[in-house]
């Protein structure tokens, strides 16, 4: 989607953009965008800081050598760019296995915060042991964040997650959804369960969670991960809507040089949001998205401006 990255920019944006993006794209590696400070936010329950732009991996269940190589390149550069949080799930085919293998080969496990999810109901077989397979699939001794996926078997699984946290096998526990009709379940879970994290869908084009769920999570001290920040990887993806459109000149005031960065900064700047997990399989997109974790964030007035702009698109 380099066409979006290279969309027509104002002169001012172009100058600032070429500085940041030029450093980012030309240098890569540890010196990436070194001129802009990395934004982190604390996990409310512990104060541990997380870089605000992570990685979604629901398209990491691949076997073709060139596809594996592309994902490996992303996972290699990801921590070098200052990022940490990788989100996967048992339900994403072999994504956990691919990530486990590649991270082992790259030797960068200690630089990552690995989040995964429990089984979907259909995967749960009688007897124990299925959840334990997650550690083997990811090739890790400890999981940073284990989330109940879409409320599947919540009552059965949540006590086990609590036991595992107690035993030090997982560091944080939480629940996820990306469906409006599960928002009542999410609200109830926030009110009744000791959640370290929630994960929910929120984007400029899908602001439902902003009304009730995000403020409640903030009140309850739950960290918030935002999934599908671009509306998902299917027909709901919002990036084609802005393809070829010029960025507003004021985007430069928040160190934004592309539409994906503007949309991610809109998410990150919500006060309840801890981190956003855009899915990508491409190094160029990773670098673009990681620039949203650098520099200035929109304030409330700028957030309104982004919403007003979106209403015209």
168 or 210: CB nearest ligand NAP:
210
Member of 17, 44, 260, 295 binding ligand NAP (CB under 6 A) = 260
Burial 253-290 (b: 16+ CB within 10 A, else e): bbbbbbbbbbbbbbbbbbebbbbbbbbbbebebbbbbb
Supply the minimum distance, in Å, between the C-beta of residue 14 and ligand NAP.
18
Number of residues that bind ligand NAP (CB under 6 A): 32
3-state secondary structure of 201: strand
140 or 228: CB nearest ligand NAP:
228
Residues between 289 and 308 that touch ligand NAP (CB under 6 A): 289
**Whether 286 contacts 28, CB under 8 Å:** no
Which H, E and C letters describe 218-255, residue by residue? Answer: HHHCCEEEEECCCCCCCCCCCHHHHCCCCCCHHHHHHC
Closest CB to ligand NAP: residue number: 279
Member of 232, 252, 290, 298 binding ligand NAP (CB under 6 A) = 232
Supply the minimum distance, in Å, between the C-beta of residue 156 and ligand NAP.
18
Tell me the two tokens of residue 180. 């409006």
| Pairing of the two strands 113-117 and 275-276 | unpaired
Residues between 4 and 23 that touch ligand NAP (CB under 6 A): 4
269 or 290: CB nearest ligand NAP:
290
What residues contact residue 34 under an 8 Å CB cut-off, 6+ apart? 23, 27
Q: With contacts defined by CB under 6 A, name the span among 36-44, 45-53, 175-183, 293-301 that binds ligand NAP.
A: 175-183
Nearest to 254 by CA among 7, 20, 40: 20
| Inter-CA distances, 287 with 3, 113, 283, Å | 15, 18, 6
**DSSP 8-state assignment for residue 149:** E
Q: With contacts defined by CB under 6 A, name the span among 22-30, 61-69, 156-164, 171-179 that binds ligand NAP.
A: 171-179
- 257 counts as binding ligand NAP under rule CB under 6 A: no
Distance (Å, whole) CA 39 – CA 301: 20
Member of 118, 199, 274, 290 binding ligand NAP (CB under 6 A) = 199
Nearest 10 degrees: CA dihedral of 165, 168, 172, 173?
-30
What residues contact residue 196 under an 8 Å CB cut-off, 6+ apart? 43, 45, 145, 172, 173, 174, 222, 223
Site string for ligand NAP, 271-290 (x = CB under 6 A): ------xxxxxx--x--xx-
Member of 230, 254, 256, 283 binding ligand NAP (CB under 6 A) = 230
The DSSP H or E segment spanning 292 is none
Q: With contacts defined by CB under 6 A, name the span among 31-39, 43-51, 160-168, 225-233 that binds ligand NAP.
A: 225-233
Residues between 100 and 159 that touch ligand NAP (CB under 6 A): 149-150
Supply the minimum distance, in Å, between the C-beta of residue 150 and ligand NAP.
5
47 or 267: CB nearest ligand NAP:
267
Q: With contacts defined by CB under 6 A, name the span among 190-198, 212-220, 231-239, 300-308 that binds ligand NAP.
A: 231-239
Q: Which residues bind ligand NAP (CB under 6 A)?
A: 1, 4, 56-59, 87, 149-150, 176-178, 199, 227-233, 237, 239, 260, 277-282, 285, 288-289
């Amino acid at each position: 989607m380099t066409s979006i990255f290279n969309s027509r920019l104002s002169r001012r944006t172009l100058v600032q953009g070429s500085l940041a993006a030029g450093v980012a794209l030309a240098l890569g590696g540890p010196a990436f965008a070194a001129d802009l400070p990395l934004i982190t936010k604390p996990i409310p329950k512990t104060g541990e800081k997380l870089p605000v732009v992570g990685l979604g991996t629901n398209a990491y269940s691949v076997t073709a050598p060139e596809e594996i190589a592309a994902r490996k390149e992303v996972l290699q550069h990801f921590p070098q760019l200052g990022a940490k949080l990788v989100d996967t799930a048992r339900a994403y085919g072999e994504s956990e296995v691919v990530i486990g293998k590649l991270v082992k080969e790259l030797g960068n496990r200690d630089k990552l915060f690995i989040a995964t999810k429990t089984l979907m109901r259909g995967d749960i077989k009688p007897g124990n042991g299925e959840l334990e397979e997650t550690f083997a699939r990811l090739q890790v001794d400890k999981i940073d964040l284990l989330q109940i996926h879409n409320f599947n078997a919540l009552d059965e699984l949540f006590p086990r997650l609590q036991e595992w946290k107690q035993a030090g096998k997982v560091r944080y526990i939480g629940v996820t959804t990306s469906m409006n009709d599960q928002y009542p379940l999410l609200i109830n879970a926030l009110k009744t369960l000791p959640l370290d994290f929630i994960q929910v869908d929120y984007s400029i084009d899908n602001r439902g969670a902003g009304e009730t769920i995000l403020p409640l999570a903030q009140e309850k001290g739950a960290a918030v991960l935002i999934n599908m920040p671009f509306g998902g990887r299917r027909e709901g993806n919002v990036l084609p809507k802005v393809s070829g459109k010029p960025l507003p000149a004021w985007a430069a005031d928040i160190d934004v040089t592309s539409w994906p960065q503007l949309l991610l900064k809109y998410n990150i700047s919500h006060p309840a949001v801890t981190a956003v997990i855009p899915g990508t399989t491409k190094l160029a997109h990773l670098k673009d998205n990681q620039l949203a974790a650098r520099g200035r964030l929109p304030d409330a007035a700028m957030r309104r401006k982004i919403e007003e702009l979106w209403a015209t698109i």
